[in-house]
Structure 1
Amino acid sequence: MKRYLVASLLSSQFLLFNAAAQSSSQIIEDSIKSCVLNTTRRYTVYLPESYSQSGNRKYPVLYLLHGHSHRNNDWAKDGHLQKTADQHMTSGNSAEMIIITPDAGSIRNGYFNTTGWSYETFFFEEFIPYVETRYRVSRDKFSRAIAGFSMGGGGAVAYALKYPDMFASVYAMSALMSLPKQGRPSTKDDESIEFGRSVLANDCIALVSYADSTSLDKLREIKWFVDCGDEDFLLDVNTEFYKEMRKAGIPCELRVRDGNHDWKYWRSSLSIALPFISDSFRK
C-alpha cells in the first residue's frame, strides 16, 4: 500500500511538472523569405504561457525593434525578454501578448528604404501580413504596438508617425529620432553616409513639425512614451522630439532616468514598456 501511495505521488508530481513544462512561455527563432528584399530575414518570437493551451484565442502583438549593429535575437539574449515578459504577464502587470523582434540587417542597413534595401516596404507589405497569418494575433490597430531602442526606437517612432492607423502605442527607448550633431555621417564612410541619410530623411521631429491637421488628429489617438537616460548621447534629440509633440498638442510621456546608452538601461525600459503598452490594447 505504501509503495502504491509513493508511486502515485511521484506520478502526480511528474504530471504536474510535465504540465508546467508544457505551459511555459516560448522563445522561437524563425525566418521569412522576402520577395521585396530578395533575401531571407530571421526574426524572434515570444509566445506567452497560455498560447499552447488556447487553440482559438488571438493575442495582441508588440513589434520590438533592435538597435544599430544589433540583431533580432539580442532582445532575447541581452535584453532578458522572456524573463521580463514572464514576470509582468504572470503577475498581471501586463496583458499576455505575442512579441516579435525582426532583423533589420547589418550595420549598413536599417528600418527605412534605402538603395537596394526596401525594409520599410518589407515590414508593412510582407512582414506584418506574414505574422498575422502564421501566429494567432489580432489584426486591428488597437491590438498592435511598436517599440525599440536606439535605431529601433527611431524606427518605431517614425513608423507610427507615418502609419498612425497601424499602432495603438509606441515606446521609444534612447531613440535615434534624428542624427545628433556628433553623429552626422562622415564623408569617408559610404555606409555611414547611406545610413545617415535614411535617418535624416525620416527625421521624427520634422515628421511631427510638418504633419497636417488630419495627421495630427490620428497621432493623438496613439499612446506615446519617450524614455532616455540622462547620460545618453541621444538625450537632446529625444527631448527635442518631446517638445515638438507638446507643441503639436499630441499627448506624450517623457521619462529621463539615471542611465546611459546600454543594455542595463534598455532592460529596465522593457519593464516600464510592457505595462504601458498593455494599457493601450483594446480590452
Structure 2
Amino acid sequence: MKKNLLLFFCLGIFAINVKAAKVDSVETYSDAMKKKINALVITPDSYSAGKEYPVVYLLHGAGGSYKDWARSAPAVKESVDAYNMIVVCADGGVTSWYWDSPVDPTYKYDTYVSKELVAYVDKNYKTIKSRTGRAITGLSMGGHGGLYLGIRHQDIYGAAGSTSGGVDIRPFPKNWDMAKRLGNYAENPDVWEKYTVTNLLHLITPKSLAIIFDCGTEDFFYKVNTELHDKMVERNIEHDFIVRPGAHNWQYWSNSISYQLLYFNLYFKKNNPGR
C-alpha cells in the first residue's frame, strides 16, 4: 500500500513538471504593408480544454525580434500556464516604434498589430473576442508601443502597459531611426508631438483603460517615465507605476514581466467573471 501511494505521489509530481505552455510560430500577412510577418503564439497547457482565453500582446524593443520574449524571459511561459492566458509575441520590425509612419508607407505597424494581428489571432485561436480579454505591453520601443497602441485603440484593448518604455520620444531625436519614421525633428516638430505617448493622455477615457508601467532607476528612460507618472497623477488617470533598481536589460525585463502579467490576469478575472 505504501509503495502504491509513493508511486502515485511520484506520478503526480511528474505530471506537474511536464505541464508546459506550447509555442507556435505563425506566419501572418499584412495587407497594409503587403508582406508576410511572423509571430509567436504561446498557449497554455490547458488550451485543449475548450474554453476561451484572454490574450496579452507582447512587443519587443528596437533592434529585437518577435522571438525575444520567449527565449529571454522564462516568466512568460510560466505565466501563460499559471494564469491560463495566451501570449502573442508580435514582430514590430527593427525600428518601427509601432507607428503607422506618416512619411514611409512601408511602415504600418499600428494597423498591423492592432487590427491585422488581432484579427488573425481571434480567427485562429480560442480567444475572448472583446477588449476585456485583451492587453498589450512591451519593452523599450515596445513599451512605447504598448501604451501608444493601448491608448489609441481603447476599443481593442482593455489594459495596456510598458516596461522601460520610451514614453516620450522628443528627448531622443537622433536615436533608433525615429527620424526615418516621423521625419527630422527640427523640420517636423508637430508630428513628433502627436506621436509620443506622453502627449496622448487626453485620449484616455476615464476608467476605461487599465494601465501599468515601470522603469528601473538606472535606465536612460527613467526620467521620461517618472514624468509620465506625474502627468497621469495631475490628470487623475488611474494607473500602477512601479520603480525598482535596474537598468535597460533583460535582467530587469525578465523580472518586470512577471508583475505585469499578474496585473493583466487580475484585470481579466475581474472583467470576465467565470473564466
Q: Would you say same fold, with TM above 0.5?
A: yes
SS at match of 1:40: strand
Matched, 1:113 2:68: no
Change in 2 beyond 3 A, CA 1:104/1:35: same
RMSD over equivalenced CA pairs, Å: 2.8
SS at match of 1:70: coil
The aligned runs of 1:76-115 (5 Å cut-off) are: 76-85=70-79, 89-90=81-82, 95-107=83-95, 109-114=96-101, 115=104
Deviation at 1:124, TM superposition (A): 2.6
Q: Is the Cα–Cα contact under 8 Å of residues 178 and 204 in structure 1 kept in the other structure?
A: yes
Matched, 1:148 2:130: no
Deviation at 1:84, TM superposition (A): 3.5
Matched, 1:193 2:179: yes
Change in 2 beyond 3 A, CA 1:110/1:192: closer
Distance in 2, matches of 1:14 and 1:78, equals: 30
Distance in 1, matches of 2:121 and 2:249, equals: 29
Q: Runs of 5+ in structure 1 lacking a partner?
A: 1-9
Matched, 1:35 2:22: no
SS at match of 1:177: coil
Counterpart code for 2:222:
L
Distance in 1, matches of 2:238 and 2:66, equals: 30
Matched, 1:25 2:41: no
Matched, 1:233 2:215: no
Matched residues, number: 256
Give 1:203's match in structure 2, choosing from 184, 188, 196. Answer: 196
Deviations 1:250-281 (A, max 9, x none): 11111110000000000010111111111111
Give 4+ residue runs of structure 1 displaced > 6 Å after superposition: 13-20
SS at match of 2:129: coil
Q: Runs of 5+ in structure 2 lacking a partner?
A: 1-6, 184-190
Residue 60 of structure 1 is matched in structure 2 by 54
Counterpart code for 2:84:
E
Change in 2 beyond 3 A, CA 1:176/1:196: farther
Deviation at 1:73, TM superposition (A): 0.6
Distance in 2, matches of 1:203 and 1:254, equals: 18
Matched, 1:74 2:68: yes
Residue 175 of structure 1 is matched in structure 2 by 165
Tell me the TM-score normalized by structure 2: 0.83
Identity %: 26
SS at match of 2:110: helix
Residue 6 of structure 1 is matched in structure 2 by none
Deviation at 1:48, TM superposition (A): 0.6
Change in 2 beyond 3 A, CA 1:161/1:31: same
Distance in 2, matches of 1:99 and 1:219, equals: 27
Counterpart code for 2:91:
D
The aligned runs of 1:248-263 (5 Å cut-off) are: 248-263=235-250
Residue 278 of structure 1 is matched in structure 2 by 265
Residue 5 of structure 1 is matched in structure 2 by none
Q: Which has the larger Rg? A: 1
Distance in 2, matches of 1:65 and 1:275, equals: 17
Counterpart code for 1:100:
V
SS at match of 1:137: coil
Deviation at 1:195, TM superposition (A): 3.9
Q: Is the Cα–Cα contact under 8 Å of residues 63 and 99 in structure 1 kept in the other structure?
A: yes
